[in-house]
Structure 1
Amino acid sequence: MGNYSKALEFFEKARQVFENTLPPNHLDLATSYGNIGGIYSSMSEYSKALEFYDKALKIIEKALPSDHPNLATSYSNVGLTYKDMGDYPKALEFCEKALEIEEKVLPPNYSSLAMSYNDIGLMYNMKGDYSKALEFYEKTHQIFEKALPPDHPDLATSYNNIGSAYKDLGDYSKAVEFYDKALQIEEKFLPLNHSGLATSHTNIGLTHNIMGDYSKALEFYEKAHETLQKVLPSDHPDLATSYNNIGVVYNKIGDYSRALEFYNKALKITEEALLLNHPLLPVFYSNIGLVYHNMGDYSEALKFYEKALKIREKALPQNHLDLAGCYHNIGAVYHDLGDYTAAVDALQKAFQEGDPTWTLTCSCFGRVYRSMKDYSKALEYFEQSLLIGQKTLPERHPDFAITYSNIGDVHRSVGEYERSLSFHRKALDIQENVQCSPLQCATTYINLGETYRQIQDYPTTMTYFEKGLEIREKKLPKNHPDLAVTYHNIAKLYLATQQYSMAMKNIQEAIEIAQEKLPSNHPHLLDYKETLAEIQKKP
């Protein structure tokens, strides 16, 4: 940061000289503005960068022919800044203007043309148009294949980009194929401890994480981290990202204390080494919030989610996907706090239909409407989530199990018990045979138990409740609200089987947790008190 400040100081001095001595449309003044824009861009102050890049562009447009290469560079600077601001339509508009010039004046196999194709591919990728991204990445690759030797580092970068496009298109086997090609090149020309190897290991780990193969994901993330620890200072931002990646896997498998450990390491580096509005900070705040959310500490989760939102509201346009992600997280935590109106309000600001991650909002809307007892709407959203997943995820991905169990629980709520059991069994078929968070499996056990309770198969009910309780007691804090849900379910079972002392013991445990962790008007706490009153009426 000190170097940027010093550079900016000298560039500003040069600008003052130029502005005092040169005509306002002089190309040296455009160069000066461009230099200042570049520094602001490096400092992540994109609106200031855009201001100076625009000044440079206005001069260059007047001073140079419409097909001059320097005009292409200026369009590209403006376009890439819009990309960093998350305004991908504007970014594409300017980068495609740059490309139009380059295609006229540059040889077809020129490296600058390849980089422009690559930049436009990145923007289509960020817009969620992965097939267009792949099209441009492949144009880049065709130039590199003709111009470069087969083990050139830029070819490895190209393979990585193509792999990323296939990953985003949901073709994970193709993604791993191209990531492996990149890795094979890198292993030939890079030393064992080179950061480029860490990047490829990270890409492969990320793909396995998406596929739900968490042991493989952790293996590759740890390889990447081991390399980065050897080659980077302990406060380097890439190490923060690496800690975050490992934390993500631990969170997915329900090891929340380990997840929090790695997320906090990432946050410590970021807060100490980077600007307070750096794009990494809201990522880490959101992830820490998610762990607290999963641990049942909803107020702490909301605090971190709102920290992330505050940064992103200042830095991003209203339609940016990362901002939508913040609203989604806040909506989810308001749901768990029992404030369903606030949850719906937040979710309506989140992902819109057609966004790449619309499935997240569908699932969360489904949970909210289920809690509001609007079961037809809940089912509609869960089924949308399932449909999207079927187009983008492997057949036995752990996320399918969550959706199957959610759908099953809606069918139970409307008295369609056979359909409910069918969906819960689909969920368990995945969860008992594919590595996933044990807590997800516990939820399905509890949902199955509740279905069997309602059809009065009490021995089977107890079997599933005990399975779910065993996992939750092992994995969750003793005062987690999900444990209260379990104790309440068990209390209702004991009430149905006239074991009133055991019913009282369990309902008291549920109420004790709820009074500590939930608002006093939370629907769950009110339900628990109703069950308590019912038990108290018994002899």
Structure 2
Amino acid sequence: MTTTPVTDARPSLPDLLAACVEAIAAGDLRAARELADRALTGAVSAGPVAFAGAVLVSGTVHRTTGDLASAQDAFAAAATLASRHLSEPSGARVHACAHIELAALHCAGGRYDEAAQVLRHALDATLACDAATAPEDLALLHNELGIVAGFSGDFDRAVHHYQKALGLLASVLPADHVDLATLWRTIAGLAHARGDVLGNLAALTHRSGKHCTADLSALAGRTVPGF
């Protein structure tokens, strides 16, 4: 297991959060917990959105260590804190990610209806905000709604949300971006699962026509299994 060094220096809050995420990825949970605690302490004076981000990362640490109850509490707290600052880009991003994490916990327990409800709540709140929201944040939520719908077998609704995500991302990303390629691939897979040969062919043709060849997971890093 890779050991992530934890020093006595005073790094910035973004550096602490980044180091915590790196420690989680490396499997060094002791360091991740320590870094998350330091980030929470430092975020108290850094503003409500920064604190919400630190709470979100601490929830990720809890989830990774198997403490799902604490993870759910942290994600819910981060979502509530960020919901008061949806007019700020960073607030909208934390709000979306916290709800996505909550939905993922529901999905892990097979509670797909609850997961969809959490995501729809986040999407409705974001759309109701007077400030302009980054297309990427809305696309994240639509992507996750597509994932949940696919898991529950509602392929038509899944395609609807993936197409929404595709349209949003297409407005800000180059045509050959990997995230667009992955969404086209997922839409093609869903068309195939529904027996929609023409839809499958159209999606694949569009994808290949844009010279999109990478099959990496898009956005939140997950897609419907088997596609």
For normalisation by structure 1, the TM-score amounts to 0.34
CA contact (8 A) 2:78 2:98 kept: yes
Aligned to 1:154: 50
Aligned to 1:268: 167
Q: From 136, 161, 167, give the equivalent of 1:237.
A: 136
Aligned to 2:157: 258
Q: From 183, 190, 205, give the equivalent of 2:85.
A: 190
Greater relative contact order (Cα < 8 A, sep 6+): 2
User: After the TM superposition, which of the residue ranges 266-275 and 135-144 deviates more from structure 2?
Assistant: 135-144
Where do 1:164-203 residues align within 5 Å? 164-186=60-82, 190=85, 195=92, 196-203=94-101
Residues in 1 aligned to 2:118 and 2:132: alpha-carbon distance in whole angstroms:
21
Q: From 184, 202, 227, give the equivalent of 2:125.
A: 227
- 1:190 is displaced (CA, Å) by 3.3
Aligned to 1:457: none
Deviation string 1:394-453 (CA, Å, 9 cap, x unpaired) is xxxxxxxxxxxxxxxxxxxxxxxxxxxxxxxxxxxxxxxxxxxxxxxxxxxxxxxxxxxx
SS in structure 2 of the partner of residue 296 of structure 1: coil
Residues in 2 aligned to 1:181 and 1:168: alpha-carbon distance in whole angstroms:
18
Give the AA of the match of 1:177. Answer: D
CA contact (8 A) 2:176 2:211 kept: no
Residues in 1 aligned to 2:44 and 2:194: alpha-carbon distance in whole angstroms:
51
Give the AA of the match of 1:240. Answer: A
Residues in 2 aligned to 1:134 and 1:278: alpha-carbon distance in whole angstroms:
36
CA contact (8 A) 1:205 1:217 kept: yes
Give the AA of the match of 1:175. Answer: A
Q: From 95, 99, 103, give the equivalent of 1:205.
A: 103
Q: From 289, 297, 302, give the equivalent of 2:188.
A: 289
- 1:184 is displaced (CA, Å) by 4.5
Give the AA of the match of 1:252. Answer: F
Where do 1:371-410 residues align within 5 Å? none
- 1:117 is displaced (CA, Å) by 3.5
SS in structure 2 of the partner of residue 312 of structure 1: coil
- 1:205 is displaced (CA, Å) by 1.8
Where do 1:90-129 residues align within 5 Å? 103=7, 108=9, 110-112=10-12, 114-125=13-24, 127=25, 129=26
Residues in 2 aligned to 1:219 and 1:269: alpha-carbon distance in whole angstroms:
21
- 1:237 is displaced (CA, Å) by 2.3
Aligned to 2:34: 138
Q: Does 1:312 align with 2:214?
A: yes
Residues in 2 aligned to 1:309 and 1:133: alpha-carbon distance in whole angstroms:
40
Give the AA of the match of 1:228. Answer: T
Where do 1:13-24 residues align within 5 Å? none
CA contact (8 A) 2:112 2:148 kept: yes
SS in structure 2 of the partner of residue 223 of structure 1: helix
* 1:240 to 1:181, Cα distance in 2 relative to 1, 3 A: closer
- 1:111 is displaced (CA, Å) by 4.5
Residues in 2 aligned to 1:203 and 1:158: alpha-carbon distance in whole angstroms:
14
Number of corresponding residues = 214
User: After the TM superposition, which of the residue ranges 253-262 and 273-282 deviates more from structure 2?
Assistant: 273-282
Q: From 277, 282, 294, give the equivalent of 2:176.
A: 277
What CA RMSD, in Å, does the superposition of the two structures yield over aligned residues? 4.0
Deviation string 1:310-332 (CA, Å, 9 cap, x unpaired) is 4427xxxxxxx749x9xxx8xx6
CA contact (8 A) 2:29 2:61 kept: yes
Give the AA of the match of 2:97. Answer: T
Residues in 1 aligned to 2:118 and 2:81: alpha-carbon distance in whole angstroms:
17
Deviation string 1:308-355 (CA, Å, 9 cap, x unpaired) is 994427xxxxxxx749x9xxx8xx67xxxxxxxxxxxxxxxxxxxxxx
Aligned to 1:217: 115
* 1:132 to 1:191, Cα distance in 2 relative to 1, 3 A: same
For normalisation by structure 2, the TM-score amounts to 0.71
CA contact (8 A) 1:221 1:246 kept: yes
Give the AA of the match of 2:37. Answer: H
Give the AA of the match of 1:183. Answer: A
Residues in 2 aligned to 1:158 and 1:296: alpha-carbon distance in whole angstroms:
45
SS in structure 1 of the partner of residue 28 of structure 2: helix
**Bigger Cα Rg:** 1
Residues in 2 aligned to 1:143 and 1:211: alpha-carbon distance in whole angstroms:
29
